[in-house]
A and B are shown apart, each in its own frame.
Chain A
Amino acid sequence: MDGQHASDRELLERIGRGDERAFAVVYSRYADLVYSVSLRVLRDAATAQDVAQDVFLRVWREPWRFEPERGKFAVWLASVTRNRALDMVRSQGRRRAVEYRPPEDAPEPVDGSAEDPQLAAEVASDTRLVRAAMSSLPEEQRRVVELAYFDGLSQREISERLQVPLGTVKTRARLAMQKLRLTLAGLVTEER
């Protein structure tokens, strides 16, 4: 009844009927993920919170935007957050010259919600899978992917940043995506 163990899909249906409690459960489940993605893109805690709030309000107002047949809610939510955060970067006209480095005093890493061990384990295992897939990429390919995906750089900007020809950027991106696709095939199509 309290919704702690309800599936994401169930909770989204309840949110569609105006159930604030279901929303609170979804918030608890995914606040860390949404905030982490937002912070990774924006690198500023205040703006990252603004974007995270926008993302959650969008879930509250338009829960039907998530289409279960197209993958897992966590993946959808994380990618919506990334898109929204990049929009914010662009609207601010900010383009950071400094490349991302995890902060040295980074808070304890978290893997999903502590409130639902089963869900936490599931999100954690998805996360581990994707991280493993990413870290198995050669450094040069991984950087191309990250500069494009998290930093919102265009292929031309990436080529300038890395001082390699545009053709090389394309090749690295292609090889990286091929490998990720093989590793992540199950994750991006299964639904919770």
Chain B
Amino acid sequence: MLTCDETREALPLLALGAVDGEEAGELRAHLESCAECRRELRELEAVASAIALTVPGTRAPESLRARVLTRVHAEHGERAAGTLAAAGVSARVGWPRWWSRRRLWWATGAVAAVVVVGWAAFLQVEVLRLDSRNAWLEREAARSREVAPVLRMLAEGRDVVSLPMEKAPSLESAAAVVLWDPEYSRCSLVIDGLPPPPRGQHYHLWLWGPSGDRFDGGALQPQGGTAVVSVDLERWKRSDYRVVVALEPAAQPTPVLWANLVTR
């Protein structure tokens, strides 16, 4: 058995992780029976851990942020949506009274124009970045079109709920998600892989209230199958409503994409 003095001699290198093999075993044996030396080692280990701060600083690549937040969101996303539906959200949502339809469309159009360009670029970059470096990245790459915008809102530090939209069979190949920021009473639709509408029709956005009241969100203007629309829901008086995308004109407009936003 080593003495305390012999042990103390070796502890600095042990704390730095440079003692292995038989010698490490002997030290561990002494440490198990000696609280004083254990305390000494703990202090030296604390000093050693601070050495990590001396590295030359290097900026982490932006793509790393996307990788990490995507992974975290993938692990957590479904739970968040489930929790929201179960618990409801204590947010006041609705349209401002002073908003005419025309004004709303002008505003959402302006927002959407900016956002489409920004997000479309971001989506592409994401897909490129999420190359098949390993198994999960391949999986995420398939989902990334859906996840990337969420990332972006998260990156902006906003508390965003992401609800996948229900899809009619004809739109099975599309990825559609409602990004909802209850705190700011804002929701955004992000739709990707939207097939061209049948001749003579266009995709149209509606908000349906529970008692048959409707708010016309205007025509969607997809660019290359991607549509992003940002909608301000300030002071909406409904407790719940449905975001609907329908093909129009039609005798009986039928939703092809929809999601229910429930507030309480």
Main secondary structure on A side of the interface with B: helix
Q: How many residues of B contact A (CB 8 A)?
A: 50
Chain B 33-67 near chain A by CB (<8 Å), digits 1 or 0:
00000000001101111111111111111011101
Q: Counting chain A CB atoms within 10 Å of each CB, which of B21, B43, B57 scores highest?
A: B57
- List CB contacts (< 8 Å) of B1-22 with chain A: 9-10, 12-13, 15-21
Q: Does B64 contact A31, Cβ atoms closer than 8 Å? A: yes
Main secondary structure on B side of the interface with A: helix
Within 8 Å of chain A (Cβ to Cβ): is B97?
Answer: no
Enumerate chain A residues within 8 angstroms of B21, measured Cβ to Cβ.
Answer: 154
Partner of A53, one of B12, B46, B51, B64: B64
Please, which residue of chain B has its CB at the minimum distance from the CB of A183? B47
Q: Does B72 contact A109, Cβ atoms closer than 8 Å? A: no
Enumerate chain B residues within 8 angstroms of A33, measured Cβ to Cβ.
Answer: 53, 55, 57
Q: Does A149 contact B48, Cβ atoms closer than 8 Å? A: yes
CA distance A76 to B53 in the complex (A): 10
Q: How many residues of A contact B (CB 8 A)?
A: 76
Please, which residue of chain B has its CB at the minimum distance from the CB of A71? B46
User: A-B contact count, CB below 8 Å?
Assistant: 185
Known A20-B76, A130-B53, A155-B13: A108·B59 in contact at CB below 8 Å: yes
CA distance A53 to B21 in the complex (A): 31
Within 8 Å of chain B (Cβ to Cβ): is A145?
Answer: yes
Enumerate chain A residues within 8 angstroms of B133, measured Cβ to Cβ.
Answer: 46, 50
Q: Which of B151-159, B201-209, B220-228, B248-256 contacts A (4 or more CB under 8 A)?
A: B151-159
A positions within 8 Å CB-CB of B: 1-4, 18, 20-21, 23-25, 27-28, 31-37, 39-40, 45-46, 49-50, 52-53, 56-57, 60-61, 70-71, 74-76, 78-79, 81-82, 86, 102, 106-111, 126-127, 130-131, 134, 145, 147-150, 152-155, 158, 169-170, 173-174, 176-178, 180-181, 184, 187-189
10 contacts between A and B (CB under 8 A): A20-B69, A21-B159, A36-B55, A70-B46, A79-B50, A173-B13, A177-B16, A180-B50, A181-B44, A188-B47
Known: A79-B49, A131-B53. 4 other contacts (CB 8 A): A107-B59, A150-B55, A169-B13, A170-B13
